[in-house]
Amino acid sequence: MTEQCLVLIKPDAIIKHLTGDILAKLAETNLHIVGSKVVQVTKELAEEHYQHLREEKFFDELIKYIMGHYHMKSVLALVYEGDGACAKIRKCAGATNPEEAEPHSVRGKYGRITSKGIFENVVHASENPKEGEREIKLWFRPDELISTIYPTEMKEAKIEKMLWKED
C-alpha cells in the first residue's frame, strides 16, 4: 500500500556531510521524495516529535541532540512515499542502537554511541504510516509537499511571516 514516511537526517550526519551518502543509500528503496527542507529544530517541535519518549531518562539529551546542541542546528526533513515506505526505510536505516544495527545499514555504517551514552544514530524514520502522518503534519505544511497526501481545508489565517526587505 502507498504510504509516507518522515525521514530526518540528524545533526550528527549533517555536520559530518553524510547527507549525500545517506540519500544514496535510501534511494535503494526505490521510494520517491515528495517533500524536503532544512529545519532549525525548536524545543517545541523536538518535544512534540518525541512526545512518546517523555518519560525516558535520555529524553533531555535526545531533545538537545535533535536541536543540534552537540553538533549544528540543522536537520534535513524529508518525506518518502511508496509501497511499504516505513518498513523499507526503517530496514535501510537499521536498528535504533547503532551498535546493534546491521553493518551495512545507515545507522550501522555511520552511527555511534558517544562516551556519554548518546545514541548518535544519524537518521529518524517513522515507525508506521499512522505515526508517519502525525510526524509529517508536524514538520510540513500541505503546500510544502508536491502532492496532497492528507485531506486539507482552506482556512483564513493571520500569519506573521519574515519577508525579504524591499530596497
Active site residues: 124
Q: How far is the CB of 79 from ligand GDP (least distance, A)?
A: 16
Q: Which residues bind ligand GDP (CB under 6 A)?
A: 53, 58, 62, 96, 117-119, 121, 124, 127
Q: Which residues bind Mg ion (CB under 5 A)?
A: 127
Residues 6+ apart with CB under 8 A from 134: none
Q: Kindly write down the DSSP assignment for every residue of 87-104, as one continuous string.
A: HHHHHHH--SSTTTS-TT
Q: How far is the CB of 126 from ligand GDP (least distance, A)?
A: 8
Q: Which is nearer to ligand GDP, 50 or 142 (CB)?
A: 50
Amino acid 88 reads: K
Q: Which is nearer to Mg ion, 14 or 86 (CB)?
A: 86
Instruction: For residue 14, give Cα distances in angstroms to 21, 39, 60, 145.
Output: 11, 11, 21, 22
